[in-house]
């Protein structure tokens, strides 16, 4: 566990820090039933060419963070209570809407789980891709269409030339996700946020899409933020991981470290609950209880009601993100014990 800081891995022009940094972000939702603190001080960063996996369950705040980065969070009910999102050192949250829009698409792009609802059903897919060039680059119709076909080729849609005038519903789920990817990379973004990009797809198609994303990333040196709940996908592609629980990052780690020796009980529990061949026939390890209710968060550490390492302290004190080494961190009072592996 003596990884060197990957901060200096790439040169991002003038700015010395990471390409995209989320710094102490707090997002709340004001609902009829009360204030839900969906994101509670999240800090993470991604560099060019790097893949950050944000791992968490529903309600962990992983998608809300991404929506806030993109500036597509519904406000209200959402409200950014605190924090900064720096892209090349500029705080996006302070930018006027017009400049923000420029960053969206050209700087940071996003793909979603449900490609069908993200595409407009009444326009041909080629037209929708070309639209990006027409609006942002001021291209002519013919040039934009040519670029659209090029892009469809690049995301390996067979017979792109013939299919450019087809409508979204004429494509399969995997092909639609490719079209979404084509749209998102149209303006050569430096960061791509992929929110559960393969959750709705079959495994064989998932493998195709993940391979495509990896290839595009190699070609263009994009930073990739992969939001997922799938421990397998993370292990396959991530460089570093941020594990989220109850709106906080509970563990930050380089991918090998996390899988080899998790430092937070939640991450450890997730890894242990994966069915394994050598443990067939035995009871699976199961994290007891259930994810917290954002409207009624447990006191202290949000994970304490489910945690086998729980002590008095966990009920009262919110654990800070302890630095373990380098960029590695764990938001557990007892991370040493978790690393050593002796529960209770």
Partner 1 sequence: MATPSEVVLEVRDLVKHFPLTQGILYKRQVGAIKAVDGVSFELRRGETLGVVGESGCGKSTLAKLLMALERPTSGKVLVNGKDITTAKGAELKHMRRNIQMVMQDPYTSLNPRMTVGDIIGEPFEIHSEVVPKGDRRKRVQELLEVVGLNPDHINRYPHQFSGGQRQRIGIARGLALQPEIIICDEPVSALDVSIQAQVMNLLDGLQKEFNLAYIFIAHDLSVVRHISDRVAVMYLGKMVEVGTDNQIYDRPSHPYTQALLSAVPVPDPEGREQRERIILQGDPPSPANPPSGCRFRTRCWKAQDICAEQEPLLEIRAQSGDHPTACHFAEASDVVHVS
Partner 2 sequence: MSEPTAAPAAPASAGKPRSLWQDTWDILKHRKIFWISFALLIMFLVMAAFPSLFTSKSPEYATLAKSMEPPSSDAWFGYDLQGRDVFARTIYGARTSIIVGVLATVGTVLLGGVVGVIAAYRGRWLDSLLSRIGEIFLGVPYVLGAIIILGSVAPVQSNPGKTMIMTVVIVVLAVLGWPVLARIARSAVIQAKHQDYVQAARALGAGPFRIVFKHLLPNSLAPILVYATITVGSYIGAEATLSLLGIGLRTPVISWGIAIADHTRYIRTGAHAMLFPAAFLSLCVLTFVMLGEAVRDALDPKLR
Give residues in contact with partner 2 (CB under 8 A): 32-33, 286, 288-290, 293, 295-296, 305-306
- In angstroms, the CA 295 to CA 198 distance is 29
223: preceding bond cis by omega (within 30 degrees)? no
* Binding segment toward partner 1, per CB under 8 A, in 9-17, 61-69, 253-261, 332-340: 253-261
Question: Using CA of residue 7, residue 12, residue 14, residue 17, what is the dihedral sign?
Answer: negative
Q: Does 287 participate in binding partner 1 (rule CB under 8 A)?
A: yes
* Binding segment toward partner 1, per CB under 8 A, in 94-102, 281-289, 313-321, 334-342: 281-289
- Taking the complex as a whole, the smallest distance from the CB of residue 115 to partner 1 amounts, in Å, to 13
Q: Does 342 participate in binding partner 1 (rule CB under 8 A)?
A: no
* Binding segment toward partner 1, per CB under 8 A, in 72-80, 121-129, 254-262, 336-344: 254-262
**According to CB under 8 A, which one of 54, 109, 179, 270 is a site residue for partner 1?**
270
What is the b/e burial string over 201-232, where b = at least 16 CB atoms within 10 angstroms of the residue's CB?
A: beeebbebbbebbeebbeeeebbbbbbbbebe
- In angstroms, the CA 298 to CA 315 distance is 8
- Taking the complex as a whole, the smallest distance from the CB of residue 182 to partner 1 amounts, in Å, to 17
* 19 burial level (CB within 10 Å; 0-12, 13-18, 19+): buried
Closest CA to 191 of 129, 106, 72: 106
Cβ–Cβ under 8 Å, residues 17 and 7 = yes
- 241's CB contacts (< 8 A; 6+ apart) are 52, 53, 54, 55, 234, 251, 252, 253, 254, 255, 258
Q: 35 vs 235, which CB is nearer to partner 1?
A: 235
* Binding segment toward partner 1, per CB under 8 A, in 124-132, 230-238, 294-302, 317-325: 230-238
**According to CB under 8 A, which one of 284, 295, 315, 343 is a site residue for partner 1?**
284
Most distant CA pair in the chain, distance: 68
Q: Does 318 participate in binding partner 1 (rule CB under 8 A)?
A: no
- In angstroms, the CA 204 to CA 260 distance is 27
**Angle at Cα 113 formed by Cα 104 and Cα 121, nearest 5°?**
80
Q: Does 95 participate in binding partner 1 (rule CB under 8 A)?
A: no
Q: Which does 305 bind (CB under 5 to 8 A by kind): partner 2, partner 1, none?
A: partner 2
State which H helix or E strand residue 211 sits in. Answer: helix 203-220
* Binding segment toward partner 1, per CB under 8 A, in 14-22, 203-211, 294-302, 334-342: 203-211
Q: Which does 296 bind (CB under 5 to 8 A by kind): partner 2, partner 1, none?
A: partner 2
Q: Which does 295 bind (CB under 5 to 8 A by kind): partner 2, partner 1, none?
A: partner 2
Chain positions contacting partner 1, by CB under 8 A: 57-58, 158, 172-175, 202-208, 210-211, 229-236, 238, 255-256, 259-260, 266, 269-271, 273-278, 280, 283-288, 290-291, 306
């Amino acid at each position: 566990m003596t990884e060197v800081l990957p901060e200096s891995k790439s040169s991002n022009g003038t700015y010395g820090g990471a390409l995209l940094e989320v710094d102490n972000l707090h997002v709340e939702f004001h609902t009829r039933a009360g204030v839900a603190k969906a994101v509670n001080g999240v800090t993470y960063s991604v560099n060019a060419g790097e893949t950050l996996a944000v791992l968490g369950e529903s309600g962990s705040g992983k998608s809300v963070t991404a929506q806030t980065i993109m500036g597509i969070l519904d406000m209200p009910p959402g409200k950014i209570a605190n924090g900064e999102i720096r892209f090349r050192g500029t705080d996006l949250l302070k930018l006027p809407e017009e400049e923000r829009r420029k960053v969206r698409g050209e700087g940071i792009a996003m793909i979603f789980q449900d490609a069908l609802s993200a595409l407009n059903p009444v326009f041909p897919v080629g037209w929708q891709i070309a639209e990006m060039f027409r609006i942002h680059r001021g291209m002519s119709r013919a040039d934009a269409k040519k670029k659209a076909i090029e892009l469809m080729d690049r995301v390996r849609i067979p017979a792109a030339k013939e299919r450019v005038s087809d409508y979204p519903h004429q494509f399969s789920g995997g092909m639609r996700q490719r079209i979404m990817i084509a749209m998102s990379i149209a303006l050569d973004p430096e960061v791509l946020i992929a929110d559960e990009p393969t959750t709705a797809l079959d495994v064989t198609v998932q493998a195709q899409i993940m391979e495509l994303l990896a290839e595009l990333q190699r070609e263009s040196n994009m930073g990739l933020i992969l939001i997922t709940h799938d421990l397998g996908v993370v292990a396959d592609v991530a460089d570093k991981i941020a594990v989220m629980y109850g709106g906080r990052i509970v563990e930050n780690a380089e991918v090998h470290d996390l899988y080899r020796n998790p430092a937070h009980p939640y991450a450890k529990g997730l890894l242990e609950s994966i069915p394994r061949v050598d443990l067939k026939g035995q009871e699976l390890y199961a994290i007891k209880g259930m994810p917290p209710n954002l409207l009624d968060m447990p006191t202290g550490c949000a994970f304490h009601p489910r945690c086998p390492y729980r002590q008095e302290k966990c009920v009262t004190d919110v654990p800070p993100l302890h630095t373990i080494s380098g960029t590695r961190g764990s938001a557990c009072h007892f991370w040493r014990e978790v690393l050593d592996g002796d529960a209770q």
